[in-house]
């Protein structure tokens, strides 16, 4: 890679050992992907996790004196106090790693937002802005819906970018790499947010490549929640860091604009039958449930309102957990939604992820209902069986104590 004089100075330790260490890692990444140089970034988001390797890395940077040049937002952790009060006493080992991780990120200069949807409310890049985002739902949303530019960063590489303020120039930062090479002809009626969850899971079952797809045949613009969940499933079932929807996403005003001079490698057709088969494989059979969980990615205020409307004046037969950002929880309190959900026996918990190991032990080996295939997939390792249904049906199941159909 070609380094500027300042970058040579960073590598030589002029700006501290921590920044030199971070840049050394970024040079290795850049060389691996044939980057020619570095470019500045204006924002970063780090997929923080309360796990050993994550804590080791951020403490390693801190031990070398690193500080963030650009304060990144961070992924959810665990709201220890709320879960201790309302679910179970988090084991001491879990409390320690969560507290230590949070403190390390505070010391290095991150914004402790603890939210996996920063692109909706806390850290929203503009069209063409070059950023460094990790988090599986964030990368496709930033690239596809907002038209900003980020590679599919890991939490470590995104943190290095926050420390140095630069990223290697490769991949989705380049115009030519943002063009579509796979055409997806959607011959199905995709309307609801849940339809986009299923479509997002279905496409990688049809095609496993890393190339950018363009979806044709979608007539109306998805909601923010539809976009959010579509990208989350595309990047969980597969590895889709960017997509186009013809006539809807900003870099695809036309088919020709989205494809440019790229050669189309594959034509995929997705029919109603394909989506139905994906549902049948993915969503599970009706049965009694032990709990319900929503918020992977973090639930929005519109989704909170939907839950409150359905459960108003009723009682849940199983525990219900809505995971969201602290900003959304505050708004839910102002709007009266939190009170409605609490009276029904549910919980809105902020700053917390479905995929943090010390968090949900009482539900290990149990059966839950969720609207999120990503939530279900991440918890297979803990032997939690999730039945997947649209949000409205899932809330009704929590009122009934079982999924009826």
Confidence tier at 356 by pLDDT (50, 70, 90)? confident
pLDDT beyond 80 at 357: no
Q: Is the pLDDT of residue 358 over 80?
A: no
- Non-local (6+) Cβ contacts of 234 within 8 A are 140, 200, 203, 204, 240, 243
How many whole angstroms separate alpha carbon 312 and alpha carbon 308? 6
245 pLDDT above the threshold of 80: yes
Tokens of 225: 């929640």
pLDDT at 265: 98
pTM for the whole thing?
0.96
CATH entry 3.30.499.10 includes domain 283-400: yes
Question: What pLDDT is stored for residue 359 in this prediction?
Answer: 85
pLDDT tens by residue, 360-377: 999 999 999 999 999 999
As a whole-number percent, the residues of the chain with pLDDT over 70 amount to 100
Fold of domain 5-174: Aconitase; domain 3 (3.30.499)
Beta bridge partners of 149: 130
Angle at CA 106, nearest 5°, toward 61 and 74? Answer: 90
What pLDDT does residue 50 have?
Answer: 84
Mean of pLDDT over the chain: 97
pLDDT at 159: 98
Per CATH, 5-174 and 283-400 having the same topology is answered: yes
> How buried is 93 (Cβ within 10 angstroms: 0-12 exposed, 13-18 middle, 19+ buried)?
exposed
Domain residue extents for the chain: 5-174, 179-281, 283-400
User: Can you read off the two tokens belonging to residue 190?
Assistant: 């995709």
Q: What is the rounded average pLDDT of the residues 327-331? A: 98
Query: How much is the pLDDT for 263?
Result: 96
What is the C-alpha to C-alpha distance for residues 232 and 59, in angstroms, rounded to an integer? 29
Q: Residues 291, 86: contact at Cβ < 8 Å?
A: no
Average pLDDT over residues 245-267: 98
pLDDT at residue 206 is higher than 90: yes
Task: State the average pLDDT over residues 378-385.
Answer: 92
pLDDT of residue 275: 98
**pLDDT, tens digit, for every residue of 34-80?**
999 999 999 999 999 988 999 999 999 999 999 999 999 999 999 99
């Amino acid at each position: 890679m070609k380094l500027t004089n300042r970058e040579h100075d960073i590598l030589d330790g002029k700006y501290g050992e921590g920044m030199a260490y971070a840049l050394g890692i970024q040079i290795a990444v850049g060389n691996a992907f044939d980057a020619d140089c570095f470019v500045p970034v204006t924002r970063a988001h780090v997929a923080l996790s309360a796990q050993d390797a994550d804590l080791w890395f951020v403490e390693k940077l801190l031990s070398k004196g690193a500080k963030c040049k650009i304060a990144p937002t961070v992924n959810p952790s665990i709201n220890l106090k709320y879960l201790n009060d309302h679910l179970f006493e988090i084991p001491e080992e879990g409390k320690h790693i969560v507290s230590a991780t949070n403190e390390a990120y505070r010391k290095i200069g991150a914004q402790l937002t603890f939210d996996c949807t920063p692109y909706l409310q806390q850290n929203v890049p503009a069209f063409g802005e070059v950023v460094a985002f990790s988090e599986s739902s964030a990368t496709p949303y930033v690239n596809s819906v907002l038209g900003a530019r980020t590679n599919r960063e890991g939490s470590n590489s995104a943190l290095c970018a926050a420390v140095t303020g630069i990223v290697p120039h490769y991949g989705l930062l380049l115009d030519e790499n943002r063009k579509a090479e796979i055409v997806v002809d959607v011959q199905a009626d995709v309307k609801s947010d849940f339809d986009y969850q299923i479509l997002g899971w279905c496409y990688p079952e049809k095609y496993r490549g890393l190339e950018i797809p363009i979806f044709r045949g979608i007539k109306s613009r998805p909601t923010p929640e539809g976009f959010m969940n579509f990208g989350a499933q595309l990047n969980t079932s597969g590895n889709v860091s960017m997509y186009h929807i013809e006539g809807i996403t900003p870099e695809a005003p036309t088919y020709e604009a989205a494809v440019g001079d790229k050669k189309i490698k594959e034509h995929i057709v997705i029919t109603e039958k394909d989506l139905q088969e994906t549902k049948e494989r993915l969503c599970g059979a009706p049965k009694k449930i032990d709990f319900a969980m929503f918020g992977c990615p973090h639930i929005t205020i519109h989704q909170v309102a939907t839950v409150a409307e359905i459960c108003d004046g009723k009682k849940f037969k199983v525990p219900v957990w809505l995971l969201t950002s602290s900003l959304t929880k505050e708004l839910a309190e102002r709007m009266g939604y939190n009170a409605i959900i609490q009276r029904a026996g549910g919980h809105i918990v902020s700053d917390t992820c479905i995929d943090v190991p010390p968090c949900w032990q009482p539900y290990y080996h149990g059966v839950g209902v969720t609207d999120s295939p990503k939530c279900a997939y991440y918890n297979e390792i803990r032997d939690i069986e999730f039945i997947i249904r649209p949000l409205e049906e899932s809330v009704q199941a929590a009122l009934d104590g079982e999924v009826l159909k």
